[in-house]
Amino acid sequence: MKRHKLLIATSNAGKLREIRHVFTDLAVELVTLAQFGELPPVVEDGRTFEDNAAKKALHYAELTGVWTLADDSGLEVDALNRGPGVHSARFAGPAQDAVANNAKLIACLRDVPRERRSARFRCAIAMADGRRVLATASGTIEGLIIDKPRGRNGFGYDPHFLLPELGRTTAELDPEHKNRISHRGQALRNVRPQLESILSE
């Protein structure tokens, strides 16, 4: 089978590790944004994760001429009207500072009791060829927000995202376990059969 290139449209090292893990034996050469030098960024102004994932995939596929897979993901907290949602990465400002984002999250929930701190991580994935979106998928994982961070294996909001049935945060899971149950792991596994079908054509 011919080995195609697939651009992973993220500069987030944590996301790259998760994607490489799920696609480890896929018949495709994974390339990153760093291999294309300075590219103009996409304006992520979509109203949903699906909007932003498609917009990113189309943007970078058109710029590079390489099939592109992009994700948009974030945290929805029910007590915050499902915020920060699509604004998760920039919740505390444009710097995309995870420490500041987490500090703001906990401050916003200061007076919210544990039983009302239900939340979910949501991920949407799109793959495009520069003209159209070829594949999409999504995934979610439910949990609770806790005040004190726990764990060192995750990134972003992971240290504050507790999985009650496991008694651990997503930052306390080993990478293989996290990839098996996470929102991004689900979305990647859901999109993989579509990629395999496209690659075989």
Q: Is 28 helix (H, G, I), strand (E, B) or coil?
A: strand
Residue 17: predicted pLDDT: 84
* Mean pLDDT calculated for residue range 75-94: 96
pLDDT in the model for residue 108: 98
Name which of 18, 31, 6, 10 is nearest 178 in CA terms. Answer: 18
Model confidence pLDDT, tens digit, residues 104-130: 999 999 999 999 999 999 999 999 998
Residue spans of the domains in the chain: they are 4-200
Separation between Cα atoms, residue 51 and residue 126, nearest integer Å = 9
pLDDT in tens, 26-77: 888 999 999 999 999 999 899 999 999 999 999 999 999 999 999 999 999 9
Q: What is the residue whose two structure tokens read 């034996």?
A: 25
Instruction: Please give the span between the terminal C-alpha atoms of the chain, in angstroms, as a whole number.
Output: 10
How high is the pLDDT of residue 24?
84
Query: Which segments of 95-184 are extended strands (E)?
Result: 118-128, 133-145, 161-163, 168-169
- Second CATH level (architecture) for the domain 4-200: Alpha-Beta Complex (3.90)
Read off the pTM.
0.91
Closest CA to 71 of 125, 15, 142: 125
Digit-coded pLDDT (tens) for 123-182: 999 999 989 999 999 999 999 999 999 999 888 999 999 999 999 999 999 988 988 899
Residue 2 has pLDDT above 70, yes or no: no
Tens digits of per-residue pLDDT, 8-22?
998 888 788 888 888
Q: Which residues are catalytic?
A: 72
Q: Which amino acid is at 148?
A: K
